[in-house]
Amino acid sequence: MSIAKNSWSAFDDDTAKIYLDGYGHPSERSKLLMGSILKELFGDTRFHLADFGCGNGHLCQFFRDQGLTLKYTGWDFSTSLLNAARARYAGSDDTVFVEGDIQDPDLQGEPADIVLFSHVLETLESPGASLAAARNMAPRIMIRFFEPPADRHDTAVLRMLDVGPGQKQEPYLRRSFSTDHYDLLLHHIGCKSVDIHQVQSDKDQVHVVQL
């Protein structure tokens, strides 16, 4: 088992349920921004979203609460976060959770209309392999960055993740992309264009990559 899978699977049951609802909960504004972009792209039409690195699956309910009609497939390699996701949201044909490594370029999944990386690309050891897997699944990719690519050198550092009570922590990877590296990754997957969205005063960005 990889170190990364070990870390992301180390949540205890209670923490897995609240992770991303509570202290791990990221910017509400960029979540709303993703919802409005999806509305612009798909309107009232039913579409299939593959959520790469879905964690405890909170985005499937969030998007439905915003009035979107979607089939949702959540992909993650964290057994503990997926257990929380299934306990909370699974049970209909429209909501599926799959355990898998999204960096596997041979990842096999049902074709989707869009693949989402929400606060995930910066945590991957091999973001290029994962973007290639996404490209094989859908004609569009949406990426929410908490550390958007910028004119700088690439960095990758180990940070600590709270996974349980008593300040139980595990290491995880956190990248900052240079625009040069990001452009190269997009070039390799045959990107035709990328639309960049940002809420004013927010660091988060949402990119829509057309393939």
Q: 127-135 and 179-188 are packed helices; what angle lies between their axes, rounded to 10 degrees? A: 40
Q: Does 83 bind ligand SAM (CB under 6 A)?
A: no
Nearer to ligand SAM, 3 or 43 (CB): 3
Q: Does 123 bind ligand SAM (CB under 6 A)?
A: yes
Nearer to ligand SAM, 84 or 186 (CB): 84
DSSP 128: H
Contact (Cβ atoms closer than 8 angstroms) between residue 130 and residue 121? yes
Q: Does 149 bind ligand SAM (CB under 6 A)?
A: no
Closest by alpha carbon to 163, among 53, 19, 11?
11
Contact (Cβ atoms closer than 8 angstroms) between residue 153 and residue 182? no
Q: Does 81 bind ligand SAM (CB under 6 A)?
A: yes
Contact (Cβ atoms closer than 8 angstroms) between residue 141 and residue 195? no
Q: Which of 49, 124, 137, 142 is in the footprint of ligand SAM by CB under 6 A?
A: 124
Closest by alpha carbon to 24, among 79, 63, 66, 81?
81
Q: Which of 20, 70, 132, 134 is in the footprint of ligand SAM by CB under 6 A?
A: 20
Nearer to ligand SAM, 49 or 81 (CB): 81
Q: Does 101 bind ligand SAM (CB under 6 A)?
A: yes
Residues that bind ligand SAM (CB under 6 A): 4, 8, 20, 26, 53-55, 76-78, 81, 101-103, 118-120, 123-124
